[in-house]
Structure 1
Amino acid sequence: MARRSKLWAYLGAGIVLIVIFSIEQMMLLRQWQDNIVSQQQRSAIREEVLILRRWTSDIDNGFRGYVLVRQPYFLAPMVMAEEEIPMALERLTRLTGSTPALQGSVQVLKRRLDELITTKRKLATKIANGESEEVLAYVRAGEGLALAKTISAVFDDFETKIARQFPEADLTPLERQKKTLWQLVAAQAGAVFVGVLVMELLLAAFAAPQRSET
């Protein structure tokens, strides 16, 4: 009876240890996968922010050129930006959908960019209609510059929150992959070692009664 209890104890301990090693392997794989997804999401969000910054700059530069020389071709970048910005904002909204800490910043950015587009469109229309004095007064008062600085601050704040939400990886993807691989190898080796040890203990436990009988 005591021998049977000892065998069950060896077997149970071995199974528990092997299960622990298996869980550790699954956790390592999950951690590696989560890290990859997080870094990919971070890169995708930052890419959309860079795209929006570029279109914002195109609107400002196009409007400035149109005010100076009154040539319609300066409006082309503005028109294109007006078409592209809503789509970029929609992509950004989807990318941050699972990150509540960033959703508020996306809405603030959307409102500011809508304000920029609406303002520049109205002013460009006034110039086309010969109402230049109001536009020049807007420029001289520095309202356009103030709006540009406000939008730039919104972008900067958003990127700060992105960096806080998705910290920069301390290892490159290849280094992270190698580290995870070695951790998996170590966990697998531990499971094999425990399995072999349990088998030896069981065999020794079976052999002991036979030696005593002889």
Structure 2
Amino acid sequence: MFTGIIEALGSIAATEMRGGDMRLRISSASLPMAEVKLGDSFATNGVCLTVVAVLSDGFWADVSNETLSLSTFANAKPGQVVNLERAMLASSRLDGHIVSGHVDGVGRVLSYTNDARSIRVGIEAPANLARYIATKGSICVDGVSLTVNRIDGSVFELNVVPHTAAETIIQQYRVGTQINLEVDVVARYLERLLQADKPTESGISMATLADNGFLRARK
């Protein structure tokens, strides 16, 4: 579990294809690697990766085909700068919002403009994710916890303050940049709870028939 508050910038030092999926080497001069052990979790551009080898300046991690299909790591290249955050402790302050590191899909930067000292970023989300995005709600963009200013269909706008821009890869965004998106986990669980009483593929429930006017109330 993560907070969406970036701890350090790093880079992809190497990529290796192994048995049909990928292994990544992440390096960063800012990470306290003496505290890192095998099995630890790192949010890397918002993707939760498990450490499979610890190095003096970084770590190796495996990336499954599922992750490759839903994230920008499908196009990962050596030298690419990434946002990094270690898994939160139970005693940590939750300064951002609850982030699982399970990326939902890839978005695209549509606009990038200055607004006083802040930056306004317009992003197009995949159509199937738009229903989870709400004005003034939280969203995780490349691992960064941000607040949605407004939304129009599948396009939403963010305001990025100078500190956040300076400490993350957002400063490198340009129109057309692809980014990892994770919607608010609470919204996903709420949707699942609401679906719990709906019919499955095996049949139609009595509650569904009643809700849609196919059953008359008994007098």
- Is the TM-score greater than 0.5? no
More helix by share: 1
Larger Cα-atom Rg = 1
More strand by share: 2
Higher relative contact order (CA 8 A, sep 6+): 1
What is the TM-score normalised by the length of structure 2?
0.24
What is the TM-score normalised by the length of structure 1?
0.25
